[in-house]
Amino acid sequence: MLATLMFILAYLLGSISSAILVSRLFKLPDPRSNGSNNPGATNVYRLGGALPACLVLIFDVLKGTIPVWGGYFLDLEPLALGLVAVAACLGHMFPLFFGFKGGKAVATAFGSLLPIGLSLAGLLICTWFIMVAITRYSSLAALIAVSLAPLYTWLIKPLYTLPVTFITVLIIFRHRSNIARLFSGNEPKVGAKKAPTDEKSDI
């Protein structure tokens, strides 16, 4: 019963789209219909600059961290904690309060992994930066980092490997359009002067 309640609360928290709310606060264009059409920090940065993007990023991370931390202190089993993390990501991807049209949930997924340990967070961040430096593809860097998350978790806290694998599968599924563009050579690179205009190019 407690796990079910946490699952619902995580989904509802995830459904609060900070990209849309921050854009309204700063009187920016709706990120769902401008730039890359993706309601996330990357697109908000494109539309409004660093400050609103940072606010979106922080809130999106907290959407994953808060419910998982809550479940951890309530002594939920690792599998249940994994489902809480997935619920937060699903809320971000398919927000109840915004017509079920959300983002890719990379920041929210990252936030949900923070309670496992700062060492895991550090490995994921380093992996992302290294892959961006090598490939200049933000989406590819995110896909590689999230794909390595179960391995990193197994090395650090094996008990949470299965729940983290759930999140990895969910994030990869959500990035299927990015994967198709990577194979076709149409995925935008970091630092490209022309912003992508096709649907949801950001991570």
For the stretch 91-128, pLDDT in tens is: 999 999 998 989 999 999 999 999 988 899 999 999 99
- Write down the pLDDT at residue 29: 95
Please measure the distance between the N-terminal and C-terminal CA atoms of the chain and give it in whole angstroms: 34
CA 185 remoteness from chain centre: 23
Distance CA 96, CA 172 (A): 22
For 81, the token pair is: 């904690």
For the stretch 21-40, pLDDT in tens is: 999 999 999 999 988 788 98
Distance CA 70, CA 38 (A): 29
Confidence of residue 132 (pLDDT cuts 50, 70, 90): very high
- Write down the pLDDT at residue 35: 83
For the stretch 53-98, pLDDT in tens is: 999 999 999 999 999 999 999 999 988 998 999 999 999 999 999 9
